[in-house]
């Protein structure tokens, strides 16, 4: 069974060090439209862009490649198709009939895996990439077109990863689901005020749920955390096991916080969740 590598397990340098944070969605995009399509309340994401759901841990030398949109970690196409169904539903229904993106188990972190996209024209194909095995710490060298790159697991939401890549593709290409999700956001202007989608707003008998194909069987094994790790931290990033490599230490930087409840939301939620049951569904929304 193949292992899922973490986002900090790929680098342009063969020496791996403590990772740093990278925010998938920045403050300058159409945040209100993001919030509406995700089923969130207004300003709920805008005020908490540094939450786990919007944060990757990456090697320092990889940060600029992600920030400059030369590299992306893309969700599986099947997951993206499900997102398009939910996105289309959320922009076509009443605000209180929307579905919160974290209410569907198909979008849980442990149900999703990612591939590294490097097709941006600015990416230098002469660049060597290195991956670190999540269990053994063994470093492998990859040369373009990188046919043997592994699949990856991240604690951030696949929604954030897909929306972050919204401008990397055009409709009509080989992978046009992401730009179609982006286009869907602009088919309806969000109201001046809206609250997080009420709970529960979707069941297995709901038409929108039935329109989503059953999740594919997981083919990859995600390393599990030791009991001592879980005792030290409840962060989603610590569900990975240790390797024998010194850089895989417990001092890895963690996202500073989860999303918090805003004044616009009326549900009773925990203060560190991106919506009422987002945290109840999964520790790191996915």
Structure confidence at residue 111 as a pLDDT band (50, 70, 90): confident
* Tens of pLDDT, residues 272-286: 444 444 444 333 333
CA nearest neighbour of 37 among 243, 199, 187: 187
- Residue 235, pLDDT > 90, answer no
271 or 189: which leads in pLDDT = 189
Distance CA 90, CA 16 (A): 41
- Residue 65, pLDDT > 90, answer yes
Q: What is the pLDDT of residue 209?
A: 56
The model carries a pTM of 0.70
* Tens of pLDDT, residues 47-56: 989 888 999 9
Q: What is the pLDDT of residue 103?
A: 85
Distance CA 273, CA 283 (A): 9
């Amino acid at each position: 069974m193949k292992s899922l590598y973490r986002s900090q397990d790929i680098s342009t340098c063969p020496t791996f060090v403590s990772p740093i944070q990278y925010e998938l969605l920045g403050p300058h995009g159409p945040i209100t439209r993001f919030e509406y399509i995700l089923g969130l309340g207004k300003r709920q994401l805008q005020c908490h862009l540094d939450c786990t759901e919007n944060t990757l841990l990456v090697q320092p030398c990889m940060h600029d490649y992600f920030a400059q949109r030369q590299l992306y970690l893309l969700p599986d196409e099947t997951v993206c198709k499900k997102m398009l169904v939910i996105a289309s539903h959320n922009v076509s229904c009443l605000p209180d009939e929307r579905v919160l993106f974290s209410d569907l188990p198909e979008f849980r972190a442990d149900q999703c895996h990612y591939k590294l996209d490097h097709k941006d024209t600015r990416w230098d194909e002469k660049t060597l990439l290195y991956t670190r095995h999540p269990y053994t710490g063994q470093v492998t060298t990859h040369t373009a077109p990188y046919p043997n790159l592994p699949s990856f697991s991240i604690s951030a939401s696949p929604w954030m990863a897909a929306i972050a890549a919204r401008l990397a593709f055009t409709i009509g290409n080989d992978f046009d689901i992401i730009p179609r999700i982006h286009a869907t956001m602009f088919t309806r202007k969000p109201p001046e005020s809206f609250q997080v989608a009420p709970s529960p707003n979707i069941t297995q008998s709901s038409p929108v749920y039935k329109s989503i194909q059953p999740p594919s069987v997981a083919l990859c094994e995600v390393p599990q955390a030791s009991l001592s790790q879980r005792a030290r931290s409840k962060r989603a990033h610590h569900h990975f096991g240790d390797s024998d490599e010194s850089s895989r230490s417990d001092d890895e930087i963690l996202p500073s916080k989860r999303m918090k409840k805003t004044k616009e939301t009326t549900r009773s939620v925990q203060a560190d969740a991106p919506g009422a049951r987002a945290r109840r569904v999964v520790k790191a929304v996915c």
